[in-house]
Structure 1
Amino acid sequence: MSNHAYMITNELWTWTSENRRGNYHFLSVPDDIEKEIRTHAAVRRLELGLPTKRGWGAVKVEATIGKTVWQTSMFPGIDENAYVLPVKASVRKAEGIVVGNKVSCKLELL
Structure 2
Amino acid sequence: MKPSFEFAAGLEPWESKPNVYFLQVPSDVGASVKEIPTPPRGFGSIAVEVTIGTTTWNTSIFPISSEGDSFFLPVKMAVRRAEGLELGDVAEVTIQLV
- TM-score normalized by structure 1? 0.80
Give the greater-gyration-radius structure (CA).
1
Identity of aligned residues (%): 36
Q: Does 1:39 align with 2:32?
A: no
Give the aligned length: 97
Aligned mate of 1:68, from 55, 77, 94: 55
Describe the shift of the 1:10–1:63 C-alpha distance in structure 2 as closer, same or farther (beyond 3 A). Answer: same
Q: Does 1:106 align with 2:94?
A: yes
Alpha-carbon deviations, 1:55-108, whole Å to 9, x = none?
A: 110000000011100000000124252100000000000000001001101110
Q: Distance in 2 between matches of 1:38 and 1:84?
A: 14
Say if 2:38 and 2:46, in contact at 8 Å, map to a contact too.
Answer: no
Q: Does 1:8 align with 2:4?
A: no
Say if 2:45 and 2:63, in contact at 8 Å, map to a contact too.
Answer: yes
**For 1:23, what is the secondary structure of its paired residue?**
coil
RMSD value, Cα: 1.6
The residue type equivalent to 2:44 in the other structure is G
Q: Distance in 2 between matches of 1:80 and 1:56?
A: 15
Q: Which runs of 4+ in 1 moved over 3 A?
A: none
Q: Distance in 2 between matches of 1:102 and 1:80?
A: 20
Q: 1:3 Cα deviation (Å)?
A: 5.8
Q: Does 1:83 align with 2:71?
A: yes
